[in-house]
Amino acid sequence: MFVTGCNNISEEEMMEGLVSRHPDFYMLYAVPEKEKNFKDNLELQDYYNVDFNRLISPESLDTLYYGSFIWLNDVEKYEYVESLELDEFPTFLVFDSKMLVFKSTEIEEVDEYLSTREETNLIKKRRENRLLIIDALEKTEKTLRGINGIETTASSFDGGKVNFRLMIRQDLSKEEAIPLFNKILESIDQSSNELDIWQHYVGNFDIKSFEKGVIYEATKLIGGDLVVKQK
């Protein structure tokens, strides 16, 4: 399979934005209908009303760089895959670190394909550490519930991605939110017996107000810095 460049952007440049950042892992995209003009991923999720991660086995999620599928709703990247002549949506695309390696409209076929991937060193490490990380999340929840202003917490681990939420009642400034996100990072790292967790896993965090919903989101990519955004 191959695709061609568009809008004066080379094939190599656009491929770089789609392929996996690490050769040990895949990237999995779900391509929606372009004509629907979805404004964001929340609208996409509501329209299709399904979390495809729940239809993929933990073993398959282990093979994904982010430990999750990603909606391909970026206009530039979407145009890049149009030459694949997709006629059913969503269509699932799997990329390794170099190229497109699998395409299907059936999530069951995607799960089967991912599950047959050779167990690379980092995939093996993910599987060995899964129980340790779940235990670390439970310990971190107990720690953060003891911080003044935090009403409750929630966490999950789905292969390559650590998810953590803080529930609060009062408003926070971004300057007040950042130390809380850093506390999540530090506590999970310490509770996981120094597994060097943030060199192997992606972190998705948010702070949610009972009145306003999610007010801050933070992302920690593998080996990258914490990025905090106000909603």
The two beta strands, 213-220 and 226-230, are antiparallel
CA distance 158 to 61: 7
Looking at residue 66, the DSSP 8-state letter turns out to be T
- The pLDDT of residue 161 is 86
Answer yes or no: are the C-beta atoms of 188 and 199 closer than 8 Å: no
How would you class 206 by CB atoms within 10 Å of its CB: exposed for 0-12, middle for 13-18, buried for 19 or more? buried
| Residue 4 pLDDT > 70 | no
- The pLDDT of residue 213 is 92
- The pLDDT of residue 194 is 65
Cα–chain center distance at 102: 19
- pLDDT tens-digit series, residues 159-201: 678 999 999 988 899 999 999 999 999 999 999 876 788 888 8
Q: 33 or 139: whose pLDDT is higher?
A: 139
From the list 25, 33, 13, 28, the residue with the least C-alpha distance to 77 is 13
Beta strands, E only, the chain:
27-31, 70-71, 91-95, 100-104, 150-157, 161-168, 202-209, 213-220, 226-230
For the chain, domain boundaries: 11-118, 122-230
CA distance 31 to 54: 17
| Residue 2 pLDDT > 50 | no
At the topology level of CATH, where does 122-230 sit?
A: GMP Synthetase; Chain A, domain 3 (3.30.300)
- pLDDT tens-digit series, residues 47-74: 998 889 889 998 999 999 988 899 998 7
- The pLDDT of residue 195 is 78
- The pLDDT of residue 67 is 85
At the topology level of CATH, where does 11-118 sit?
A: Glutaredoxin (3.40.30)
